[in-house]
């Protein structure tokens, strides 16, 4: 059964050339009720003006990308990263979402275990402020192909091991199909995530991928069993918005309205 279109959220990375104002207009034209924001896009107008724009457009915010990026070589730099996360928490609250997506960051050197400890310390340091702002920290495990430059948190099991140290009211995970689809332990781990899933993102895995960063596919163009995975995520209790987040250069180069039409079509057909 299709996911209902009222769960579709446009992650701004999909239509990366659009400003927030343009994306909000696109969502209005295509009847999309949710949007997933990026901080750099929000910064163009600022938080207050962005929030007003979204409210006027009747758009709800499924999450803000992104906090995280905790590991760093020096204590001063780690402190600066934490401060940036505290600001991101406030931005999320100001934008009317309670989900701050954390992309946890790479190691500053070759020490993965050390960097993973820095991630745990970073989440711990941001948690109280997040709770005070009624924002939940959503750890997103990234595909292991990003372990060297984007995230030392690379499996759902590992993300769950991390968040289970923290109160469930304030900390959970985002599951992105592109990042987790390959995992032999996926079914068990999605079930284990039950009650702590704060977001579900979709795109598709092209085989072979045309690019490391910008080679994601439109849903249906790749090999992920998207309907099955949504079933697992829903069985684990998540029935919130589904963000379409496609990092794909060719798609970014197309007119945004064409992209939204395609996204809606595929959302109904295969998500």
Residues of this chain that bind a copy of itself (CB under 8 A): 106-107, 110-112, 116, 143-145, 147-149, 154-155, 157-158, 161, 181-184, 205-209, 211-213, 215, 222-225
Distances (CA, A) of 223 to 78, 140, 203, 267: 38, 21, 10, 15
Quote the least distance from Cβ 142 to a copy of itself, whole Å. 10
Quote the least distance from Cβ 71 to a copy of itself, whole Å. 12
Q: Are 215 and 248 in contact (CB under 8 A)?
A: yes
Tokens of 129: 């402020």
**CB nearer to a copy of itself: pick between 45 and 147:** 147
- Element spanning 56, H or E: helix 47-56
**CB nearer to a copy of itself: pick between 42 and 104:** 104
Quote the least distance from Cβ 151 to a copy of itself, whole Å. 10
**CB nearer to a copy of itself: pick between 157 and 262:** 157
CA distance 142 to 181: 11
Quote the least distance from Cβ 145 to a copy of itself, whole Å. 4
CA distance 217 to 219: 6
| CA-based torsion, 157, 144, 13, 257: positive or negative | negative
**Helix residue spans in 105-199 (DSSP H):** 112-132, 156-163, 177-180, 186-192
Q: Tokens 């500053």 — which residue? A: 108
**CB nearer to a copy of itself: pick between 212 and 261:** 212
Quote the least distance from Cβ 250 to a copy of itself, whole Å. 16
**CB nearer to a copy of itself: pick between 86 and 182:** 182
Quote the least distance from Cβ 32 to a copy of itself, whole Å. 26
Tell me the HSE value of 149 on the side-chain side, using a 13 A CA sphere: 3
Quote the least distance from Cβ 110 to a copy of itself, whole Å. 5
**CB nearer to a copy of itself: pick between 75 and 184:** 184
**CB nearer to a copy of itself: pick between 23 and 107:** 107
Contacts of 243 (CB under 8 A, 6+ apart): 9, 10, 11, 34, 36, 62, 63, 199, 200, 201, 202
């Amino acid at each position: 059964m299709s996911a209902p279109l009222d769960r579709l959220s446009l992650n701004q990375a999909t239509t990366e050339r659009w400003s927030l104002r343009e994306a909000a207009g696109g969502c209005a034209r295509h009847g999309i009720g949710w949007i997933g924001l990026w901080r750099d896009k929000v910064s163009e107008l600022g938080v207050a003006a962005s929030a007003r724009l979204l409210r006027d457009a009747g758009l709800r915010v499924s999450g803000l990308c992104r906090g995280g990026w905790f590991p760093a070589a020096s204590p001063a730099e780690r402190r600066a990263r934490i401060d940036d996360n505290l600001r991101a928490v406030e931005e999320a609250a100001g934008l009317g979402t309670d989900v701050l997506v954390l992309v946890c960051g790479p190691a500053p050197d070759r020490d993965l275990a050390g960097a993973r400890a820095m991630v745990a310390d970073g989440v711990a340091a941001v948690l109280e402020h997040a709770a005070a702002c009624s924002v939940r920290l959503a750890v997103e495990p990234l595909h292991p192909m990003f372990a060297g430059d984007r995230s030392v948190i690379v499996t759902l099991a590992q993300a769950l091991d991390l968040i289970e140290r923290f109160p469930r009211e304030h900390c959970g995970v985002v599951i992105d199909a592109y990042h987790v689809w390959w995992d032999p332990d996926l079914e068990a781990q999605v079930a284990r995530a039950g009650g702590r899933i704060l977001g579900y993102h979709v795109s598709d895995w092209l085989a072979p991928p045309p690019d490391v960063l910008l080679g994601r596919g439109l849903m249906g163009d790749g090999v992920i069993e998207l309907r099955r995975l949504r079933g697992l995520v829903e069985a684990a209790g998540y029935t919130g918005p589904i963000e379409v987040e496609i990092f794909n250069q060719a798609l970014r180069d197309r007119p945004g309205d064409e992209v939204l039409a395609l996204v809606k079509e595929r959302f109904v057909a295969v998500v």
